[in-house]
Chain A
């Protein structure tokens, strides 16, 4: 089956004549077709939100975790292929623990970002392995303030005020750009993310989803934890009401 990449897309270690690494682009497509993930860096912390598509009615609510803590003040949200994401999370946990043991203090956000970037990049340097099919959202709150990083399958990483990936990323980014992130607090951000997720979710076309959120902020004592169930439910209720009202006033 010949497509755009024909012949040059069989290995992550092969460039195409026009300088593209097709396997990395395909890895990106795996992320783009998965559930939406949104991250917001606020005045007092960072909030991450994941749209977890519910594959089966038999799933226990709260299972199939997409957001994990990797250190006391750092957390990762996985977008894309979940097992690849777990591999990144385990690596991050190990890096953070070793760093603390070696240097006597917790790892800083920008150092973790660099380490994960280099790790992702490794998989495009060797034959016999494939790139990770995940984009990692890294939330950190250390002495340099709250930070949000996005690390892509190629190893490119950026620091963001707000970012999104997955199916609804275009719409999510549009919504994020409307927010005043310099003034937004984490409590408000939880509601905004809920609103964004439900706005971009098409009831007729998309499968039902569960919203998983986590945050690290002054209120949590700079610890990365899941947003409490009640807070998420309240935010979801408010989001649904806001969308209904918007629909009715059209």
Chain B
């Protein structure tokens, strides 16, 4: 009697994680923006990963789209860079026609239009923060679906899930610049400690009517909390 023929399956050696050589550059990320008394602070970690490999440990996720308007990028690095370039282009033309600084709302509206109309083809979670002469400092959040919402502070990226409690408990209205920066650094440090896709340095940009001050806090100087 013949043995029934078995179906043969090819033998594959594959990582448990997606093969990093072919993985998309993703910014598993921790980003946030906070409105304080005289402006806005935007902050981000610096890790870009391709699967399990950290392809850039010092990336800059804080992208200017105008003199006093920044965006924090999370999701696909390629998608968010492209979207930010488009918005930068339109904002420049807009401010030339207006002959004055554009409002943060206009920038956020442009981001929303691009993200919403192309929602099927984009993975982009963006936080817009800036200062304009009409409304002062403002923060807008545009998560994955393309909804636009204004918030006193916003957090985003994969690392943000770990710090919702911390942020809700520690946010105060009308903080000073120093308080706002410390709030961001503490929050992001906590996120980076727990999220494998976030890490590196903490970059901050403080935006007020007087300009933008950018700083970088190296990994060995991050605020520390409970360490096992």
Contacts and interface: CB of A to CB of B under 8 A. Distances in A.
A52 to B, nearest CB: 34
Interface residues of A, number: 9
Interface in B83-129: 94, 97-99, 102-103, 105-106, 108-110, 113
Interface of B: 94, 97-99, 102-103, 105-106, 108-110, 113, 134
Contacts of B113: 102
A102 B110 contact: yes
User: Chain A at the B interface: mostly helix, strand, loop or mixed?
Assistant: helix
Nearest to A111: B97
A204 interface: no
B132 to A, nearest CB: 11
Contacts of A114: 97
B106 to A, nearest CB: 4
A159 B108 CA distance: 31
17 contacts: A102-B109, A102-B113, A103-B94, A103-B102, A103-B105, A103-B109, A103-B110, A104-B103, A104-B106, A104-B108, A105-B103, A105-B106, A110-B99, A111-B97, A111-B98, A114-B97, A143-B134
A108 interface: yes
Given A110-B99, A111-B97, 7 more contacts: A102-B110, A103-B102, A103-B110, A104-B105, A105-B105, A108-B98, A114-B97
A105 to B, nearest CB: 6
B106 A103 contact: yes
**Leading 9 A-B pairs by shortest Cβ distance:** A104-B109, A103-B106, A104-B105, A103-B109, A104-B106, A111-B97, A105-B105, A103-B94, A111-B98
Contacts of B94: 103
A105 B148 CA distance: 14
A234 B98 CA distance: 40
B156 to A, nearest CB: 20
A103 B97 CA distance: 12
B136 to A, nearest CB: 14
B92 to A, nearest CB: 13
Interface string A91-118: 0000000000011110010110010000
B97 to A, nearest CB: 6
Contacts of A108: 98
Interface in A136-183: 143
Nearest to B91: A103
Interface in A7-29: none
B108 to A, nearest CB: 7
B209 to A, nearest CB: 17
A231 to B, nearest CB: 33
A96 to B, nearest CB: 14
Nearest to B108: A104
Contacts of A105: 103, 105-106
A87 B134 CA distance: 33
Contacts of B105: 103-105
A145 to B, nearest CB: 14
By CB atoms of chain B within 10 A, which of A102, A103, A105 has the most? A103
Contacts of A102: 109-110, 113
Contacts of A103: 94, 102, 105-106, 109-110
